[in-house]
Amino acid sequence: MIGFREAHEAVMGSVAALDTERIELSKAYGRVLAEAVVSDIDIPPFDKSAMDGYAVRTKDLIRPPVTLSVHDTLAAGSTIREEAVEGTCVRIMTGAPIPHGFNAVVMFEETEEREGKVRFDDPAAEGQNICRRGEDIERGRQVLGTGALIRGPEIAVLASVGMVRVKVFRSPRVHVLSTGSEVVEPGQPLSFGKIRNSNGPMLCSLVSNSGAEVVYLGIAPDREKELTALIKKGLSGDMLLISGGVSMGDYDLIPGILKGIGAEIILHRVKIKPGKPLLLARRERCIIIGVPGNPVSNFTTFHTFIKPALYKMMGRTDHALHFVHGIAGEDIRKKGERPQLMPSVHRVVDGAFVVEPLPLNGSADIVGCAGCTCLMFVEEGDQNIQRGEMVPIILIEL
295 binds Mg ion (CB under 5 A): no
Under rule CB under 5 A, residue 244 binds Mg ion: yes
Query: What gap in Å lies between CA 46 and CA 66, rounded to an integer?
Result: 29
Rounded Cα–Cα distance for residues 242 and 195 (Å): 17
The Cα 107–Cα 45 span in angstroms is: 22
| Sign (positive or negative) of CA dihedral 31, 33, 34, 39 | positive
d(CA 16, CA 203): 21
Size, binding site for Mg ion by CB under 5 A: 4
b vs e for 125-138, b when ≥16 Cβ sit within 10 Å of the residue's Cβ? eeebbbbebbeebe
| 278 lies in the binding site for ligand AMP (CB under 6 A) | no
Q: Could you tell which of Mg ion, ligand AMP, none binds residue 301, using a CB distance below 5 to 8 A set by kind? A: none
- Which residue, 96 or 296, is less far from Mg ion as judged by CB? 296
Look at residues 310, 343, 323 and name the one whose alpha carbon lies nearest to residue 210.
310
Residue list 348-367, contact with ligand AMP (CB under 6 A): 364
Q: Is 308 a binder of Mg ion (CB under 5 A)? A: no
CA distances to 87, 98, 130 from 75, rounded to whole Å, are 21, 11, 15
How far apart CA 294 and CA 198 sit, in angstroms, is 10
Contact partner at residue 21 from ligand AMP, Mg ion, none, CB < 5 to 8 Å by partner kind: none
In the complex, the smallest distance separating the C-beta of residue 267 from Mg ion, rounded to whole angstroms, is 20
Q: Which is nearer to ligand AMP, 143 or 219 (CB)?
A: 219
111 touching ligand AMP, by CB under 6 A: no
Q: Does 277 bind Mg ion (CB under 5 A)?
A: no
Distance CA 222, CA 228 (A): 10
C-beta of 291: minimal distance to ligand AMP in Å?
A: 8
Kindly tell me which of 163 and 242 has the beta carbon lying closer to Mg ion. 242
Nearer Cβ to Mg ion (111/197): 197
Q: How far is the CB of 185 from ligand AMP (least distance, A)?
A: 10
Of 99, 172, 180, 343, the one binding ligand AMP (CB under 6 A) is 180
Chain residues 287-346 in contact with ligand AMP, contact rule CB under 6 A: 292-295
Q: Does 180 bind Mg ion (CB under 5 A)?
A: yes
Count other C-beta atoms under 10 Å from residue 307's C-beta.
20
Q: Does 178 bind ligand AMP (CB under 6 A)?
A: yes
Find the binding residues for ligand AMP in span 129-158 (CB under 6 A).
none
Q: How many helices (H) and strands (E) does the chain have?
A: 7, 29
By the rule CB under 6 A, 274 interacts with ligand AMP: no
User: Rule CB under 6 A: is residue 249 a binding residue for ligand AMP?
Assistant: yes
Stretch in the footprint of ligand AMP (CB under 6 A) among 32-40, 99-107, 193-201, 378-386: 193-201
Q: Is 199 in the site for ligand AMP (CB under 6 A)?
A: yes
As a whole number of angstroms, the distance between CA 93 and CA 107 comes to: 10
The residues, ordered by sequence, that sit 6+ positions from 352 with a Cβ below 8 Å of its Cβ are 326, 327
Instruction: Select from 337, 342, 287, 278 the least CA-distant residue to 312.
Output: 287
Please report, as ranges, the residues that interact with ligand AMP according to CB under 6 A: 178, 180, 182-183, 195, 197-200, 243-245, 247, 249, 252, 292-295, 364
Q: Which residues bind Mg ion (CB under 5 A)?
A: 180, 244-245, 293
